[in-house]
Structure 1
């Protein structure tokens, strides 16, 4: 069943990684997980941007900013495909980087690591139901922290490498993830400079 590992990675992550390692699913299964989970932050961002509005500032004078539904939809679609690209690109980096650590994972295993470690960050998209910047940043920070924790616990299990090597490998993956994030943000800024930015109401 699609998404059947979500509960486990929150309640007992190490045991769930062992289950994932014992019974590897197909490439389609791991990809489907990402295709479904990426809907959450994208859909929540659309709804919050078009109908709830974002509160910038503090107090009664805080300004509420909304996008037009059409602009919010375009941004949500771009966000959806950007998230999918980010995770699949990270999987490629994991697959190639593993060769330097004497590990030979399949691309499906690399995608599993990327997909399940990204899940808490994507689930943080539910925070958009309360579109206060401080609240969303807090939840996103928690999501990032737990995603990093899942990465550090899952890499030694899935790649079958010692804990020490797993720590170094995971640190390298985190660095690559930050670089990918900067690339995506830079791409967004470039698109905005060509007039493809959001349109406010």
Structure 2
């Protein structure tokens, strides 16, 4: 199923557009794996190779600290995913969508699949390597969002474009807020101790 999400997302989106609840449930079964993949890869890469920020020596965390960071990463991903689903469902009423919650969960599972798989780049946690892997995945996810949302929710393309743009705005604000909160907590001394 995960391979189908990556190779033929269009067919899954068309199936979701036909309101196939069985298919929506089968797509949702991939969600735990997609949510666990980024923090797992980040933990493995961080412990084995350390984080590289350019050409300097890698920064290492202890295994216990890396597990804590990975669990917080998983929590942030879960919050981001489910808050986006609930926000999209709330917004959907404004744009004329009447799809049930499971369709939203399945749709955003399809949209997030390229980003989750691109997180395999976390196995070698070098900033530039991760950026090179994430940018094409982000473009792919955005394409799925903008093209798939009107079809799956049965709304006109103009409304779908506006709703997709509103969701992208929400995600950008959430990402910047997460960075600010993380930087504030680490500055206050609540972050892990880094060793070089």
TM over 0.5: yes
Per-residue deviation, 1:46: 0.7
Does structure 1 conserve the Cα–Cα contact (< 8 Å) formed by 2:16 and 2:23? no
Paired with 1:115 and 1:10, the residues of 2 have a C-alpha distance of 11
Paired with 2:177 and 2:99, the residues of 1 have a C-alpha distance of 26
Indicate yes or no: 2:176 matched with 1:179: no
Does structure 2 conserve the Cα–Cα contact (< 8 Å) formed by 1:94 and 1:173? yes
User: What's 2:6 paired with?
Assistant: 10
Q: Deviations over 1:122-160 (max 9, x none)?
A: 111101222221111111111211111111121012100
Structure-2 change in CA distance of 1:9 and 1:162 (3 Å): farther
What is the total number of aligned residue pairs between the two structures? Answer: 194
Per-residue deviation, 1:41: 0.7
Paired with 1:50 and 1:152, the residues of 2 have a C-alpha distance of 37
TM-score where L is the length of structure 2? 0.88
Structure-2 change in CA distance of 1:84 and 1:31 (3 Å): farther
Paired with 1:31 and 1:85, the residues of 2 have a C-alpha distance of 16
- Relative contact order, higher structure (CA 8 A, sep 6+): 2
Indicate yes or no: 2:33 matched with 1:36: yes
Indicate yes or no: 2:144 matched with 1:150: yes
TM-score where L is the length of structure 1? 0.86
Does structure 1 conserve the Cα–Cα contact (< 8 Å) formed by 2:54 and 2:128? no
Paired with 2:98 and 2:71, the residues of 1 have a C-alpha distance of 34
* Gap runs ≥5 in structure 1: none
Indicate yes or no: 2:60 matched with 1:66: yes
1:165 to 159, 169, 178: 159
Does structure 2 conserve the Cα–Cα contact (< 8 Å) formed by 1:40 and 1:126? yes
